[in-house]
Amino acid sequence: MTQEYKRHQSFPLRLSPSIRQQANDLAHVEGISLNHFISLAIAEKIVRMEQTTFLKEQATPKKVVTLRTDFRSDKLA
């Protein structure tokens, strides 16, 4: 971050009425504020994206160096 985090920084967020109502209802069921619900949702999304990136990096084939030894029959005897 280039700017220092400010605790009371506001961020205007435009939600469709239906999404806002669903989020508000779910927050109410959880017993938390809409603001806290949205903060948790964003945090969960960030974690999922980081996990996806990590798993993709782990699945990428790595260049493996193998030690090969050529066995010739004349050297075995």
Q: How far apart are alpha carbons 54 and 51 in whole angstroms?
A: 5
What pLDDT score was predicted for residue 15?
96
What pLDDT score was predicted for residue 69?
67
3-state secondary structure of 5: coil
What pLDDT score was predicted for residue 17?
97
What pLDDT score was predicted for residue 19?
98
Contact 31, 23 (CB under 8 A): no
C-alpha separations of 23 from 12, 19, 29, 36, 48 in Å? 16, 6, 10, 11, 19
User: Domain-by-domain residue ranges, the chain?
Assistant: 17-59
What pLDDT score was predicted for residue 65?
65
Per-residue pLDDT of the chain (77 residues; tens, 9 = 90+): 455 666 678 889 999 999 999 999 999 999 999 999 999 999 999 999 999 998 888 877 766 666 666 666 665 55
